[in-house]
Amino acid sequence: MSQVGSFGVNYKTVWTTSSQALPAKVGDVGSAVEGDFVFVQADGAIAQYAFVKIAVDGQADELTTTNAGSNGLLVGVAQVAAADNEYLWVWIGGPRGGGTGVGIKGKVAANYVAGNNLNTTATDGVADDASTTKIAYVVGVASTTPAAAVELYSLAHLKVN
Protein backbone atom coordinates (compact mmCIF):
# COMPACT_ATOMS: atom_id res chain seq x y z
CA MET A 1 0.00 0.00 0.00
CA SER A 2 1.34 3.44 -0.85
CA GLN A 3 0.39 6.75 0.67
CA VAL A 4 -0.11 10.09 -0.98
CA GLY A 5 -0.90 13.15 1.11
CA SER A 6 -2.08 13.33 4.69
CA PHE A 7 -4.73 11.11 6.22
CA GLY A 8 -6.15 13.47 8.85
CA VAL A 9 -2.80 14.45 10.39
CA ASN A 10 -1.62 18.03 10.84
CA TYR A 11 1.56 17.53 12.87
CA LYS A 12 2.52 21.22 12.68
CA THR A 13 -0.40 22.39 14.86
CA VAL A 14 -1.22 22.37 18.59
CA TRP A 15 -4.81 22.39 19.91
CA THR A 16 -6.40 23.49 23.16
CA THR A 17 -9.90 22.42 24.16
CA SER A 18 -10.92 26.04 24.66
CA SER A 19 -9.73 27.37 21.30
CA GLN A 20 -11.02 24.84 18.76
CA ALA A 21 -12.53 21.41 18.27
CA LEU A 22 -10.04 18.58 18.48
CA PRO A 23 -9.38 16.74 15.18
CA ALA A 24 -9.11 13.31 16.85
CA LYS A 25 -9.42 11.47 20.14
CA VAL A 26 -6.39 11.07 22.37
CA GLY A 27 -4.68 7.83 21.35
CA ASP A 28 -5.91 7.86 17.74
CA VAL A 29 -3.34 6.88 15.12
CA GLY A 30 -3.08 8.78 11.85
CA SER A 31 -0.88 8.41 8.79
CA ALA A 32 0.89 10.75 6.42
CA VAL A 33 3.63 10.25 3.85
CA GLU A 34 6.17 10.98 6.63
CA GLY A 35 5.00 7.98 8.70
CA ASP A 36 2.51 7.30 11.48
CA PHE A 37 1.44 9.69 14.22
CA VAL A 38 -0.45 9.39 17.54
CA PHE A 39 -2.72 12.15 18.85
CA VAL A 40 -1.66 12.89 22.44
CA GLN A 41 -2.16 15.32 25.30
CA ALA A 42 0.98 16.95 26.72
CA ASP A 43 1.72 15.94 30.30
CA GLY A 44 3.98 18.94 30.93
CA ALA A 45 5.68 21.25 28.47
CA ILE A 46 7.13 19.58 25.37
CA ALA A 47 9.83 21.22 23.26
CA GLN A 48 9.81 21.10 19.46
CA TYR A 49 11.58 17.94 18.19
CA ALA A 50 11.65 16.37 21.68
CA PHE A 51 11.45 12.59 22.03
CA VAL A 52 8.43 11.73 24.18
CA LYS A 53 7.12 8.68 26.00
CA ILE A 54 3.48 7.91 25.26
CA ALA A 55 1.50 6.40 28.12
CA VAL A 56 -1.40 4.02 27.51
CA ASP A 57 -3.85 6.84 28.33
CA GLY A 58 -2.39 9.04 25.55
CA GLN A 59 -0.43 11.37 27.83
CA ALA A 60 2.97 12.39 26.40
CA ASP A 61 5.95 13.53 28.44
CA GLU A 62 9.52 14.30 27.36
CA LEU A 63 11.53 11.07 27.37
CA THR A 64 14.51 10.52 29.69
CA THR A 65 16.45 7.47 30.82
CA THR A 66 14.67 7.77 34.19
CA ASN A 67 11.09 7.71 32.82
CA ALA A 68 11.75 5.29 29.94
CA GLY A 69 10.32 2.48 32.03
CA SER A 70 10.20 -1.04 30.72
CA ASN A 71 10.54 -2.59 27.29
CA GLY A 72 7.76 -1.90 24.83
CA LEU A 73 6.99 1.71 25.85
CA LEU A 74 5.75 3.60 22.77
CA VAL A 75 7.97 6.56 21.84
CA GLY A 76 7.15 9.55 19.66
CA VAL A 77 8.81 12.74 18.49
CA ALA A 78 6.99 16.09 18.77
CA GLN A 79 7.35 18.20 15.63
CA VAL A 80 5.93 21.28 17.40
CA ALA A 81 6.26 22.66 20.93
CA ALA A 82 3.30 22.20 23.26
CA ALA A 83 2.38 23.54 26.70
CA ASP A 84 1.00 21.35 29.47
CA ASN A 85 -2.43 19.90 28.58
CA GLU A 86 -2.30 20.95 24.91
CA TYR A 87 -2.96 18.39 22.17
CA LEU A 88 -0.73 17.44 19.25
CA TRP A 89 0.18 14.70 16.79
CA VAL A 90 3.56 13.07 17.56
CA TRP A 91 5.52 11.06 14.99
CA ILE A 92 5.92 7.40 15.96
CA GLY A 93 7.78 6.28 12.83
CA GLY A 94 6.61 3.25 10.91
CA PRO A 95 8.07 1.28 8.00
CA ARG A 96 10.37 3.66 6.08
CA GLY A 97 9.12 6.70 8.02
CA GLY A 98 10.94 10.01 7.85
CA GLY A 99 14.25 10.05 5.97
CA THR A 100 16.50 12.57 4.26
CA GLY A 101 14.66 15.65 3.02
CA VAL A 102 11.32 14.69 4.60
CA GLY A 103 11.63 17.11 7.53
CA ILE A 104 10.82 14.81 10.46
CA LYS A 105 13.37 15.75 13.13
CA GLY A 106 14.43 14.81 16.64
CA LYS A 107 16.71 16.43 19.22
CA VAL A 108 20.09 14.73 19.64
CA ALA A 109 23.21 15.40 21.69
CA ALA A 110 26.15 17.28 20.15
CA ASN A 111 28.32 14.18 19.77
CA TYR A 112 25.70 12.02 17.99
CA VAL A 113 27.12 10.14 14.98
CA ALA A 114 24.79 9.64 12.00
CA GLY A 115 23.36 6.18 11.48
CA ASN A 116 23.97 4.99 15.04
CA ASN A 117 21.23 3.71 17.32
CA LEU A 118 19.48 6.35 19.39
CA ASN A 119 19.25 6.00 23.16
CA THR A 120 17.60 7.91 25.97
CA THR A 121 19.64 10.45 27.95
CA ALA A 122 19.28 12.23 31.29
CA THR A 123 18.30 15.38 29.34
CA ASP A 124 14.54 15.75 28.75
CA GLY A 125 13.58 14.91 25.17
CA VAL A 126 17.16 14.49 23.86
CA ALA A 127 18.58 11.26 22.42
CA ASP A 128 22.18 10.18 21.81
CA ASP A 129 24.16 7.17 20.63
CA ALA A 130 25.76 6.62 24.05
CA SER A 131 24.71 3.29 25.56
CA THR A 132 21.71 3.71 27.86
CA THR A 133 18.14 2.67 27.06
CA LYS A 134 17.74 2.05 23.32
CA ILE A 135 14.96 3.68 21.30
CA ALA A 136 14.30 0.91 18.81
CA TYR A 137 13.77 1.25 15.05
CA VAL A 138 15.06 4.80 14.54
CA VAL A 139 18.33 6.48 13.56
CA GLY A 140 19.40 10.02 12.79
CA VAL A 141 20.44 10.57 9.19
CA ALA A 142 23.06 13.22 9.99
CA SER A 143 25.63 14.06 12.63
CA THR A 144 25.28 17.32 14.51
CA THR A 145 27.52 19.80 16.27
CA PRO A 146 26.45 21.47 18.47
CA ALA A 147 23.37 19.73 19.85
CA ALA A 148 20.48 20.22 17.49
CA ALA A 149 17.67 18.44 15.71
CA VAL A 150 18.47 15.97 12.94
CA GLU A 151 16.25 14.27 10.42
CA LEU A 152 15.09 10.83 11.53
CA TYR A 153 14.50 7.58 9.67
CA SER A 154 12.47 4.68 11.08
CA LEU A 155 12.02 1.01 10.29
CA ALA A 156 8.92 0.45 12.47
CA HIS A 157 7.03 2.16 15.30
CA LEU A 158 9.46 3.62 17.83
CA LYS A 159 9.63 2.00 21.26
CA VAL A 160 11.93 1.61 24.23
CA ASN A 161 13.82 -1.62 23.70
Domain ranges of the chain: 14-160
Under 8 Å between Cβ of 60 and 53: yes
Query: What is the phi-psi region of residue 58: left when phi exceeds 0, alpha when psi lies from -120 to 50, beta otherwise?
Result: left
Q: What is the pTM of this model?
A: 0.92
Under 8 Å between Cβ of 156 and 137: yes
CA–CA distance, 153 with 102 (Å, rounded to integer): 9
Q: What confidence tens digit (pLDDT) does each residue in 44-95 have?
A: 999 999 999 999 999 999 999 999 986 789 999 999 999 999 999 999 999 9
Four-residue CA torsion sign, 116, 154, 44, 69 = negative
